[in-house]
Structures are given as C-alpha cells and as structure tokens.
Structure 1
Amino acid sequence: MTQQSKIQNPETQVPKSPAMNDRDFLNDILTTEKYMTSSYSIALNEASHESLYQDLAAIMNETQDSQRHLFNVMFEKGWYSFDAAQQSSLQQSFQQFTGYNNQLPSGGLTQ
C-alpha cells in the first residue's frame, strides 16, 4: 500500500496562548462564512419574490467569494492540508459518476 502524501504549504507559526491568534480568528470567520452561505442557500429556496431572490443571490455570491478567499489565505499559510487522492480512488469515483450519469434520462449530463 502506498502512503498518501499531503498537499500543504509550510505552516505559518502563531503564538500558543489562551488568547485568540490570527489562525483562530480566520478559522472563526471562515466557519461563520460557511454557515452563512448555507443559510443563504436555504433562504434562496424559500424566497417567493423575484427581487428578494435576486438580492439574496447577490449577497450569497459575495459571501461565497469571501469564504473562498478566507480558505485560500488559510491554505497559503499552511493551516489547511489535504491528502493526495490515490489514482484508484479517483478512477472508482469516476466510474461511479459515469454509472449515475448513464441512469439519467436522455443519456445523462453529457448531452
């Protein structure tokens, strides 16, 4: 079995103390942005007025962009890492999606 490698930038060190540091603040804000985008998605599903829907959609897009920017900052600072996917796992996911796609009417999403 091959060992998975990490996809990560060098970690920016922060002071270890009871007080919140930059990583803590960014993590808190990122968590809040994720919660807000989820909540806006629900609000969009429930919006019955077109103008309200458009306003909420614009706000949600701005919030989603902010969430992505915060994620990128945390990744750049080495505060997020990922396990590199194994080729066999990618192939299995592709085959599973292809199976689902072929079950859709009219041959799926590729048409």
Structure 2
Amino acid sequence: MPAMKDQDIANSILNDYKLMCSSINTYITEAQNQNLRNDYINVLQDMYNCQKQMFDTMSQKGWYQVQNADMSEIARAQQQYAKVQL
C-alpha cells in the first residue's frame, strides 16, 4: 500500500475538523444544561480555530484553492440574507 502524501493527510485532518464541528453544533443545539452547552460552545470555537489553521496551511501550500467570489455574488448573498432576517 502506498504511503499517504502530506497533502492527503492534511486533507483528511481538515475533513475530520469539519465533521467534528458539525457534530458539536448538534450537541450544542440539543444540550439542556447551560454549563454543558457553554462547554460545547468553547470546544466548538477551539475546533473552528484548528480548522482555520489547517485551512490556512493548506492554502499557503497550494493544496486547497478556493475561487474568490465576485462582488455581485457577495451582494446577492447579502440581499438574500437580509430578506430572511425580516
């Protein structure tokens, strides 16, 4: 079996962070105890920070490229969000 490349390992870690964040979001919305809920929120913030660091590292190495949204797409998304808030 061939060895995994650094890029493959980093991608796996990034995906794991995404899954953990999703799971913790569910735990937060289902927690009855406020102290437990607050703990989950703190853990989620830590996971977001770790995920961001991994994303930034991958992006700097050219392993994760994101297409920049143009200003019209951003404005359209903001308008749609504003309608939902009303």
The TM-score normalised by the length of structure 1 is 0.66
1:85 to partner: Cα distance: 3.5
Structure 2 residue aligned with 1:79:
63
Where structure 1 has 5 or more consecutive residues not aligned to the other structure, the ranges are 1-16, 106-111
Name the residue aligned to 1:14.
none
Unaligned runs of 5+ residues in structure 2 are none
- What RMSD over aligned residues (CA atoms) do the two structures have, in Å? 2.2
TM-score, with structure 2 as normaliser: 0.83
- Residue 48 of structure 1 aligns to a residue whose secondary structure is coil
Give the helix-richer structure, 1 or 2. 2
Runs of 4+ in 1 over 6 A off after TM superposition: none
Q: Which of structures 1 and 2 has the bigger CA Rg?
A: 1
Q: How many residues align?
A: 86
- Which residue number in structure 2 is paired with residue 31 of structure 1? 15
The CA distance in 2 between the partners of 1:103 and 1:57, in whole Å, is 25
Percent identical: 29
